[in-house]
Amino acid sequence: MDFIIELPPVIQKGIIYDSILVILNCYTKLAKYFSCMTSITASDFAELFIDAILSDYDLSSSIISDRDKLFTSHY
């Protein structure tokens, strides 16, 4: 998981997005991309992850991130 940040702002359904969350499944090589905001909180990220990933797939035995402060913070 990683973020692509500092992109030009885009308005979608009345919400301004300026980042992309990238989630890659290393085994299937499937990448998923989600519009998000740079100011996303840990709880908002958890909600997005559950809605987007866990609803379609089973929970992985391991999750690898780049140790972004969002992934390592407590919410």
**Rounded Cα gap, residues 8 and 27, in angstroms:** 32
Which position has the higher pLDDT, 37 or 60? Answer: 37
Please report the pLDDT score of residue 58 as a whole number: 66
Please report the pLDDT score of residue 48 as a whole number: 86
Do 48 and 34 contact (CB within 8 A), yes or no?
A: yes
pLDDT tier, 72 (very low <50, low <70, confident <90, very high otherwise): low
Domain that holds residue 53: 2-72
pLDDT tier, 74 (very low <50, low <70, confident <90, very high otherwise): low
Name the residue among 4, 57, 59, 14 with its Cα closest to residue 35. Answer: 4
5-58 confidence digits (pLDDT tens): 999 999 999 999 999 999 887 778 889 899 999 988 888 888 888 887 776 766
Q: Tell me how many domains the chain contains.
A: 1
